Amino acid sequence: MTSEEIRATLLKCLSDVAPEIADEEIEDEMDLRDELDLDSMDILRWVQGIHKALEVEIPEEDYGKIATLGEAVDYVAARV
Partner 1 sequence: MTEFLMPSLGADMTAGTLAKWRVATGDTVQHGDIIAEVETDKGIIEVEVFESGVVQRLLVSEGERVPVGTALAEIGTRGLGIGPSGTGSEPEAGVILSHGASDVPLGGPMASPAVRRKAHELDVSLGRVRGSGEQGRITLDDVRSAALPAAASSERVRISPYARRIAAERGVDVSVLRGTGPGGAIQASDVLSAKAAPPSKPASSAERMQNAIAAAMTRANDEIPHYYVEHTIDMGNALAWLKEVNATLGVSERLVSGVLVLRAVARALQKHKKLNATWQAGKVVPSDEVHVGMAVSLRGGGLVAPALRNTNQGSLSDLMARMTDLVSRARAGALRSSEMTSATTTVTSLGERGVEAVTPIIFPPQIAIVGCGATLERPWVVGGQVVARPVMRVTLGGDHRVSNGHEGARFLSALDRLLQEPEEL
* C-beta of residue 13 within 8 angstroms of C-beta of residue 56: no
Least spacing, CB of residue 36 vs partner 1, in Å:
8
21 binds partner 1 (CB under 8 A): yes
User: Which residues touch 12 (CB under 8 Å, ≥6 apart)?
Assistant: 53
Let me know how long the chain is: 80
Q: Of 4-12, 39-47, 64-72, which part binds partner 1 (CB under 8 A)?
A: 39-47
Q: Residues in contact with partner 1, total (CB under 8 A)? A: 19
Helices (H), the chain: 3-17, 40-54, 69-77
41 binds partner 1 (CB under 8 A): yes
Q: Which residues bind partner 1 (CB under 8 A)?
A: 18-21, 33, 37, 39-41, 44-45, 47-48, 51-52, 57-60
